[in-house]
Structure 1
């Protein structure tokens, strides 16, 4: 394991562009790498009070997150909590 870690660190310091073959590019599948499947999304339009939207944007900016991503996280957390409760 340490050998692999040292090799990785070594390659981080060297120019490895010589290993890139632009005529025969590798695909992630060839490298046994799978990206997580993203759930399909839909565009929605929602009207929010200006003050609330500005607060969300400021909060997101402080955390270096896009405000629409922040809204998705907040909604997802709220739905997770709701599913734990019985209505």
Structure 2
């Protein structure tokens, strides 16, 4: 284990690009890697009243998270609540 740690630390100070053979570039397929067919998130544009956005940003600041993360949390919790209340009816 100690040897492995020393090896890892050693790479922090070495120029690792010398280990790459630039004459034989690899493709993701060669590395057995695949990119997802669709991105896990989608960019949207959402217009909010200034007062609402200010409140969201202030609350997010109190919670020490970004306001965009807070919006995602609120949307996620809200839609889950809608689905659970609908299935309970």
TM tier, shorter chain? 0.5 to 0.7
TM-score (norm 2): 0.52
The alpha-carbon deviation at position 52 of structure 1 amounts to 1.9
Query: Where does 1:3-82 land on structure 2 (aligned, <5 Å)?
Result: 5-6=4-5, 7-35=7-35, 37-39=38-40, 41=42, 43-46=44-47, 48-58=48-58, 59=60, 62-63=64-65, 65=66, 67-82=67-82
Instruction: Tell me how many residue pairs correspond in the alignment.
Output: 83
TM-align CA RMSD? 3.6
Q: Structure 1 residues 42, 18: CA separation in 2 closer, same or farther (over 3 Å shift)?
A: closer
Distance in 1 (CA, whole Å) between partners of 2:33 and 2:3 is: 18
Question: Greater helix percent: which structure?
Answer: 2
Which has the greater radius of gyration? 2
TM-score (norm 1): 0.52
The alpha-carbon deviation at position 54 of structure 1 amounts to 1.7
